[in-house]
Every structure is written in C-alpha cells, then in structure tokens.
C-alpha cells in the first residue's frame, strides 16, 4: 500500500494508489474511484493524475476524506498539493517536507542530500563556467576535496542533470527513492555549517538577520506557509541565467521555549 510520506508529488501518490487498488481488484477503475470520491466526472480525476491540472480545494478535501488521513498526513498532503502548484514540480523544495517520516534506508549517496551537487549545478549557469575541478575549487568559498568534485560531476552527468559536455539541462536534483529523515537533518546541519563559515564575508555581500517573537500555536502552520511561499517567490524573482555568483538562501524558524 502506498505511503504518502514516500512521495514528493501528490499526483504520483494518487497514481500509485490506483495501481495498488487495480492490482487487487480487476473491477477497479477511474470511473468507480470518481464515484466513491463523489466527483461529477471521471475526467476531473484522470486529468489530475495525468498532471494535466491540479486538484482544487474541494477535490483535496474529498481525497483527505477518502484516505481517512490523520492530522499529520493530512497536513503533509495539503502541503504537497500547494507546493506542487507554486514550485512547478521542483522537488528540491518539496523534499524538506518529510520531517520525521520516511524511510530508515540509507540514502547518503543521493545527490539531493549533498549541498555541493546543488552548488555545481548552479555554477554551470555562470558566464565563465568551466567543468574542471580547479575552476570549481577556485570559485567555491568552502573547502572541498578534488575527488568530491570529480565524483559529483560524473553523477550529475549520469543523472542527466548536466549533459556530457557539462551544460545544464532542465532536469532538477530529485530524490532517487524514499527519503531518510535522519539524512534530511544531516543536510540541514551541513547548510548551517556553511552559514557559520560565511560569517567573515563582508556584510555588503551577505545578510544574517533574526527576529524573536511570541506566537500563537494556531498560527505556526500559517507561518510555515508564508516562509515557504517567500522562498519560492524569492527564487523566481532573483535567479539569473547566466549569473555572476552562486548564493545559498537558508531560513530557520524554530521554538526557543517548550
């Protein structure tokens, strides 16, 4: 049975659910499922699953009721729907939704947990980019080893993120399988270490700022959505191709009290 936490696109989950039901019942069909969901037409369901459109609020509520999702799973499902709409299916933002759910299987070799893989992909947008380890080492501020760069260049080509002549493609770095939540935390830890290393950089080239506020528990989910929406909008407006430098944008919002 498909697990919602194994998916970064809610429509892939719906398709996996349909296939699961079909494998156990010969009579199962999109028409039958549409009737059980209370939809007026079958096409409304098939268009969502085929990714020709997104589910609207009423359809989302019907899915939640049909799957009898618990509060955490319901929140996750709704966020998948919302973020799939605004990020145009870019999984590098969706993968961080996994929280404490997911697989216990190690995925340390997955590019999605390596900040350097993202950095090299974005560096390929630079006007003077050269797919050579000495160029990458000279342009990067954090210290990395030559074998790391060489290995990631090979992997990015193998995965189709870069072409054989190291030109960036439309493919994005996405999870190869189920996401291990421990490695999500390790990824965030590495990003925060990079932030510490960036402290000596001139304030004219970086921004470190923070606000400490009291907040009502009922508004935490709203705050999370506002932050994610800003991240998406910021990326859309500020990304330049070609660019002059590669920046990392990182935000935290966490409790100081318990």
Give the per-residue pLDDT at 98: 46
CA distance 41 to 195: 51
| Segment 150-198, tens digit of pLDDT | 899 999 999 888 999 888 887 777 776 666 777 878 888 999 999 999 9
CB–CB of 104/39 below 8 Å? no
pLDDT at 115 over 70: yes
Give the per-residue pLDDT at 178: 64
Mean pLDDT computed over 219-225? 88
Give the per-residue pLDDT at 247: 94
CB–CB of 31/41 below 8 Å? no
Helix (H) or strand (E) holding 61: helix 57-67
Give the per-residue pLDDT at 99: 47
Whole-model pTM: value is 0.68
pLDDT at 4 over 60: yes
Sign of dihedral through CA atoms 157, 162, 163, 169? positive
Residue of 4 and 44 predicted with greater confidence: 44
Mean pLDDT computed over 120-129? 90
What average pLDDT is seen over the chain?
A: 85
CA distance 157 to 162: 5
CB–CB of 152/114 below 8 Å? yes
pLDDT at 46 over 60: yes
Domains and CATH numbers, the chain: 4-86 (1.10.260), 95-258 (no CATH)
């Amino acid at each position: 049975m498909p697990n919602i936490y194994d998916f970064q696109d809610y429509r892939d989950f719906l398709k996996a659910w349909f296939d699961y039901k079909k494998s156990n019942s010969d009579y199962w069909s999109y028409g039958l499922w549409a009737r059980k969901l209370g939809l007026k037409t079958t096409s409304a369901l098939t268009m969502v699953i085929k990714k020709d459109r997104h589910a609207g609020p009423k359809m989302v509520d019907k899915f939640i009721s049909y799957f009898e999702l618990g509060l955490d799973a319901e929140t996750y499902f709704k966020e998948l729907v919302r973020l799939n709409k605004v990020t145009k299916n870019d999984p590098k933002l969706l993968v961080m939704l996994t929280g404490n759910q997911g697989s216990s299987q190690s995925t340390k070799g997955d590019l999605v947990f390596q900040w350097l893989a993202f950095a090299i992909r974005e560096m390929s947008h630079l006007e003077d980019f050269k797919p050579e380890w000495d160029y990458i080492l000279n342009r990067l501020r954090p210290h990395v080893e030559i074998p790391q760069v060489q290995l990631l260049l090979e992997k990015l080509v193998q995965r189709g993120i870069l072409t054989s002549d190291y030109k960036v493609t439309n493919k994005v770095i996405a999870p190869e399988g189920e996401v291990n939540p421990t490695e999500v935390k390790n990824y965030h830890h590495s990003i925060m270490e990079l932030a510490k290393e960036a402290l000596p950089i001139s304030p004219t080239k970086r921004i470190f700022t923070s606000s400490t506020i009291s907040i009502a528990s009922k508004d935490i989910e709203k705050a999370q959505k506002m932050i994610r929406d800003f991240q998406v909008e910021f990326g859309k407006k500020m990304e330049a191709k070609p660019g002059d430098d590669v920046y990392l944008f990182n935000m935290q919002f966490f409790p100081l009290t318990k």
